[in-house]
Structure formats: structure tokens, C-alpha cells
Amino acid sequence: MKNKTIYILAIESSCDDTSAAVLSNKKKLSNVVATQKIHEEYGGVVPELASRAHQQNIVPVVHQALSKANIDKKQLSAIAFTRGPGLMGSLLVGTSFAKSLAMGLSIPLIEVNHMQAHILAHFIEENEMNPPPFPFLALTISGGHTQIVLVEDFFKMEILGETLDDAVGEAFDKSAKILGLPYPGGPLVDKYAQLGNPKAFPFTKPRVDGLNFSFSGLKTGILYFIQRETKKNPDFIKENLNDICASIQYTIIEILMDKLKKAIKQTGVKHIAIGGGVSANSGIRKALLETENMYRWKTYIPKFEYCTDNAAMIGIVGYLKYISSDFSEQDVTAKARYTIGA
Ligand code: KG4
Ligand code: ZN
């Protein structure tokens, strides 16, 4: 098996992106993502609509991934799929598809934990990517997740802290919604924040023990602040948008950086790997680079394509499991709640 090229077809359908990828060992040959636009008008992901869209997208997306990779399904070594965590209806589409295809082709089936995949995305082999050495701390920040994980080996991970309520991406998106910005508002908050004063409006940071996070109080604080100010001046948002966005972003970054510093102090681990859609945020990138110089940490940020939900990250986990013959049975079921290490 040592010299044989392994071809993995990977499928991701945990939330609102239908994605399929083909990997040749650790290298990506294709990574197709169909983002569901339908949720924009609702200001957030509607689970029922997401599963219906996955059903429509899955066949063409898989087909496209295979043809872009120039691989015939008969060449595939295994099918990897996201077992969880995620929305049950969405997961069922990918899980059922993967099971049927693996059975039809008589090749192994490999279940993947989506959160492990966000972390192991750093190990996809690509020129400009540099994988972190073990042990490292992973900060996974997206619309669905906020976690600090101690990673001692590919499959030896321990969650040190996570959000008790909203994910950090939700904090961005919900704040944006309060300001009347369209969904998903995170990138817009980032854009306006770059033109504003981060200290213009102080927002209260939550007090949460240990390395856990909470963002729901911040959202309520922002809502009350905006209601109060717009009562006095109906044009308050319009006149202060840049400063409001900068202040919100500043507070969110402070919350993340405080916990990250605490995790580094607690573990002594100074290699930090970031993942998830929020790692695109310019303020977070800047804060990480500044502290990198100040504290001698080293940060690792994968290509943006591998930060947001995508199947290539499922494929790399599939490959790592394949080489240790860690396969799933045909009776494997989707798991909406599925913690790392469970
Ligand atoms: O990983 P992702 O594509 O999907 C999941 O949620 O799993 O992350 C999407 C989240 C959204 O909440 C979006 O607003 C946020 O990432 N996001 C950003 C930025 N780009 C994307 N948040 C802040 N600043 C950004 N530049
Ligand atoms: Zn995700």
C-alpha cells in the first residue's frame, strides 16, 4: 500500500454548503463548493431549506469534483463524509449519498468529524501551506463554531474551551443585522471597521470562567445601545457606522485574544492554528501577527478556501484514516451532536 496513490472522494454537507473534493494522497485535485444563496433573504440558515438544497446540489457537485480532478469513480480508494456535528437534515443527505456510493463501488467508507476536519485542514499539502508541528492549539472560529482545542496528534485532541451560546461568526452576523446590514454581515462589519475608531464605543466583555466563550450578552448589549442611541438620533447608525463596526470588532477580537493568551499560558504551547470562516477577519489576522512578534508565538492560517466549510478538509481526514485502515461500517448514522474525541 505504501507506494500506491490513494484517491479519496470527500463529501461535506453539515450546514449550508454542499461540497465535494477529490484528494490524491494529501494533495487536493478538486474542491467544489455550492453555497446556498437561499438563506440570505432569511438572515440566517433555514435547516429545512438547507437539506432540500443539498438534495439538489449533491449529484452535480460530486460529478463536477470528479471531472475537475480528472478521476473516474472506479479509481477511487474510499469515500469520506461528514458524519457530524451539524444540521441533521443536511448531514443525512451527505451520509446517505456516501454510504450508497461506497456500497455501489465496493470501496471503504470513512466517517469524519467536521470539527477535526477544520483543524486537520492545515495538513493538506500545498505550496504556500505550512502545517503546524504537534502539539499545537487550534482556534476554530466560524458561523457555527468557536473552540480552542489542544492537538497532540492527528486524532489526539482535547477541547479546552468552547462557546456556551452563540458562535463568534453569529456574533458578527447578529450585530450586523442589528445595524441593518445583509446576511452574512461578518465581512461587512470587517470592511467598515477598517475605516473606524475601535475605541469609539466601549462594549462590555462577558465574564466567563476558564477558556469558554459567550457572545450572546455582547449581542444584547449592542442591541440596547443601538436602540438607545437611535431614539436620540434616528441617523445614529448611518452617521457612525464605521465607528460602531470598529468597536464591535475590537470587542470580539479582545474576547478571542484574551482566551487564546490564557490557553497558551495554561498549556505552554505556542503554535496556534486558526480555522473557520471568521479567520478571514482582517482585525483578527492583525491581532495575531502583532502578538506573534510580542510573545513569540507562531500562527498558522490555512488558505481561505480551507477555512470555510469545504470537502477538501474532510478528504485530508479521510486520507489520514485510510492509511491507518480506520473505516466505518455501512450502518453508520449521521450525528448532529458529535464532539471531538467522541
Ligand atoms: O466557516 P464558515 O464559512 O461557515 C460556518 O459557519 O461553518 O463561516 C461563516 C462565518 C459567517 O458568520 C461570516 O459572517 C463569518 O464567517 N465571516 C467573517 C468574515 N468573513 C466571514 N466574520 C468577520 N469578518 C470577516 N472578514
Ligand atoms: Zn464548519
| Whether the predicted pLDDT of 249 surpasses 90 | yes
Residue 187 beta carbon below 6 angstroms from any ligand 1 atom? yes
The mean predicted confidence, pLDDT, of the chain is: 95
Q: If pLDDT is split at 50, 70 and 90, which confidence band does 192 have?
A: very high
CA of 302 to the centre of ligand 1 (A): 15
| Whether the predicted pLDDT of 43 surpasses 80 | no
Ligand nearest to C-alpha 85 = 2
What pLDDT is recorded for position 46?
85
What pLDDT is recorded for position 127?
87
Domains and CATH numbers, the chain: 7-123+307-322 (3.30.420.40), 136-301 (3.30.420.40)
Mean pLDDT, range 276-296, rounded to an integer: 91
Atom index in ligand 1 nearest the CA of residue 168 equals: 12
Ligand nearest to C-alpha 302 = 1
CA of 142 to the centre of ligand 1 (A): 5
Mean pLDDT, range 91-111, rounded to an integer: 98
Residue 163 beta carbon below 6 angstroms from any ligand 1 atom? no
Burial (0-12, 13-18, 19+ Cβ within 10 Å), 340: buried
CA of 166 to the centre of ligand 1 (A): 13
Mean pLDDT, range 147-171, rounded to an integer: 97
Mean pLDDT, range 41-53, rounded to an integer: 86
Mean pLDDT, range 280-307, rounded to an integer: 91
Cβ atoms 153, 120 nearer than 8 A:
no
| Whether the predicted pLDDT of 342 surpasses 80 | no
Best residue among 37, 175, 177, 278 to mutate for probing ligand 1's pocket (most ligand atoms within 8 Å of CB) is: 278
27 to 24, 122, 145: CA distances (angstroms): 5, 12, 26
* Phi, psi (deg, nearest 5) at residue 158: -135, 125
Task: Tell me which residue of 64, 58, 69 sits closest to 100, measured CA to CA.
Answer: 58
Distance CA 185, CA 208 (A): 25
The protein residue whose alpha carbon is closest to atom 10 in ligand 1 is: 143
What pLDDT is recorded for position 36?
81
| Whether the predicted pLDDT of 331 surpasses 90 | yes
What pLDDT is recorded for position 22?
98
Residue 11 beta carbon below 6 angstroms from any ligand 1 atom? no
What pLDDT is recorded for position 105?
98
Residue 302 beta carbon below 6 angstroms from any ligand 1 atom? no
Q: If pLDDT is split at 50, 70 and 90, which confidence band does 195 have?
A: very high
Ligand nearest to C-alpha 16 = 1
CA of 309 to the centre of ligand 2 (A): 5
Residue 340 or residue 126, greater confidence: 126
| Whether the predicted pLDDT of 85 surpasses 80 | yes
Cβ atoms 21, 305 nearer than 8 A:
no
Cβ atoms 22, 64 nearer than 8 A:
no
What pLDDT is recorded for position 2?
53
What pLDDT is recorded for position 38?
81
DSSP states of 124-185: S--TT--PPPSSEEEEEESSS-EEEEEEEETTEEEEEEEBSSS-HHHHHHHHHHHTTPPSS-
Residue 169 beta carbon below 6 angstroms from any ligand 1 atom? yes
| Whether the predicted pLDDT of 1 surpasses 80 | no
Within 10 Å of residue 220's Cβ, how many Cβ atoms?
Answer: 12
What pLDDT is recorded for position 45?
83
